Structure 1
Amino acid sequence: MNAPLALAKNEKEDDSHPYVRPKDAATLILIDRSGSRPKVLVGRRHDKVVFMPGKYVFPGGRVDKTDNRVPVAAPIPPELEASLLRGRPKTEASRARSLAVTAIREACEETGLCLGRKVEDGRAGKLDGVWKPFADNGLLPDPSSLFLIARAITPPGRVRRFDTRFFSAEASAITHRIPGVVHADAELVELVWVEIGSEPLADAHNMTKAVLRQLELRLANGPLRHDAPIPFFHWYDGAMRMDTLTSTS
């Protein structure tokens, strides 16, 4: 068990709420390696939203009950599924698929950047709602390029709690862009590609910075691998701590 993670003074949260069961959620960290140093995509949240107003965040959100039924261009890699099954609470195989699809859906909804693949069998035409941009372009969501970077569960006592899986993918996996998604009245008002540790991230939520530090370590060791240890941030013994989930966890 690692040392507790300290919250910054301006990030103290109300911990007086009754116990709330964490909801499954997924986040996508897109990586651009075209320059001398890798950059990640973050979006600045609207100042008037309830959750983390004005903060730079990764696109993401909770799992929708229909995410497991959305057809995909390719199944999630067995190695990714194995990574998602590590740790407690236990994740079922069907839920692992949902989490990967959620990360793709949320990124497309919030940033207009969509990870998909062209298909010719007519399945894409059956998509509707938030998936219509995929259908209009003959695409199905493609989770085959995703890697799991971290898992984090919001501490108890918070009014909103999430069991979040942080995925990453290369910017080259973006196959479609929807214009006009990010604007002054949207949930995300600005998108920026930034180096890890750069100025736009100085005021990011403490967990965002903790996950980024772990991603930086992964990137320093070469190409991302599915068999790498997964940092798991959760509340234990009165503090937020980080465990490491390995292939035997």
Structure 2
Amino acid sequence: MSEAGTEEKEADHHPYRRPVDAATLILVDRSGAIPKVLVGRRHDKVVFMPGKFVFPGGRVDTADGRVPVAASIPAALEANLLKGSPKITSARARSLAVAAIREACEETGLCLGRKQDGVAPALSGPWQPFADAGLLPDPSGLFLIARAITPPGRVRRFDTRFFTADASTIAHRVEGVIHADAELVELVWVELGSKPLADLHPMTKNVLNELDKRLGTGALRHDADVPFYHFYSGKMHRDILGALQSPSA
């Protein structure tokens, strides 16, 4: 799990650390009158954000760029991921989307994939649940909602891309991932604007506001503006990816 802003109580005087690429996935259920998002409650005894509701996410692994997928990421999603600086490659854009799917499956047991007829996917490690279900990860249903970089001077720094996907893209559920001794002890679908979301990290609430605005316009689209939250001159700035931006530290 990663939060682009990290926690406010963390010291801000550490040596400069280069942000690590990370991805977060916000699953949304739009079957009712008010959209719901999936959050997980962290164990009370973990060091980082104990007892808090969070979205699944984490840093990109090297293997994320090599795992086979059921479909390519949409060209419009790739274009959004390639905007901004520092510049990344198309391969890195793919890795970010795949990392969001892997983290969601690892932390919640919910897998976004597609069946492969007659062929057992050659997957292992964190991707074993996909192989067991005859699936390959499918990033074709992901949308980029926002990007955020942790301020300088923090112990942990992430360059996080926040993705969303509709709940209908969930193809498989791994049992036993959520339990009393796990990192996430429960999963809850909560309505946007409801009480459990009021205790989220401020940056995550910013991203949820962006998602709420997107959903208010109807269907999720790749051509909507993607905000970029970053810090320079000691202040947080909200720019739009692809627009003229000031350097981020």
Q: 1:53 offset after TM fit, Å?
A: 2.0
Count residues with an aligned counterpart.
240
Task: Determine the C-alpha separation between the residues in 2 that align with 1:165 and 1:57.
Answer: 15
Structure 2 counterpart of 1:39, one-letter code: K
* Superposition TM-score, scaled by structure 1 size: 0.92
1:91 corresponds in structure 2 to 88
Structure 2: unaligned runs, 5 residues or longer: none
Q: 1:179 offset after TM fit, Å?
A: 1.0
Is residue 35 of structure 1 aligned with residue 52 of structure 2?
Answer: no
1:187 corresponds in structure 2 to 183
Contact residue 84 and residue 148 of structure 1 kept, 8 A? yes
* 1:91 counterpart SS class: coil
Task: Determine the C-alpha separation between the residues in 2 that align with 1:235 and 1:161.
Answer: 12
2:167 corresponds in structure 1 to 171
Identity over aligned residues, as a percent?
72
Is residue 77 of structure 1 aligned with residue 74 of structure 2?
Answer: yes
Given candidates 205, 209, 212, the residue that maps to 1:213 is: 209
1:117 corresponds in structure 2 to 114
Given candidates 106, 123, 128, the residue that maps to 1:132 is: 128
Task: Calculate the aligned-residue CA RMSD, in Å.
Answer: 1.6
Structure 2 counterpart of 1:88, one-letter code: S
Task: Determine the C-alpha separation between the residues in 1 that align with 2:177 and 2:231.
Answer: 35
Task: Determine the C-alpha separation between the residues in 2 that align with 1:88 and 1:49.
Answer: 33
42-51 or 212-221, which deviates more: 42-51
* 2:193 counterpart SS class: coil
Structure 1: unaligned runs, 5 residues or longer: 1-6
Task: Determine the C-alpha separation between the residues in 1 that align with 2:34 and 2:198.
Answer: 18
Contact residue 10 and residue 155 of structure 2 kept, 8 A? no
Structure 1 counterpart of 2:59, one-letter code: R
* 1:66 counterpart SS class: helix
* 2:131 counterpart SS class: helix
Is residue 226 of structure 1 aligned with residue 222 of structure 2?
Answer: yes
Task: Determine the C-alpha separation between the residues in 2 that align with 1:146 and 1:248.
Answer: 25
* Superposition TM-score, scaled by structure 2 size: 0.92
Task: Determine the C-alpha separation between the residues in 1 that align with 2:9 and 2:133.
Answer: 44
Q: 1:41 offset after TM fit, Å?
A: 0.5
Q: 1:246 offset after TM fit, Å?
A: 4.1
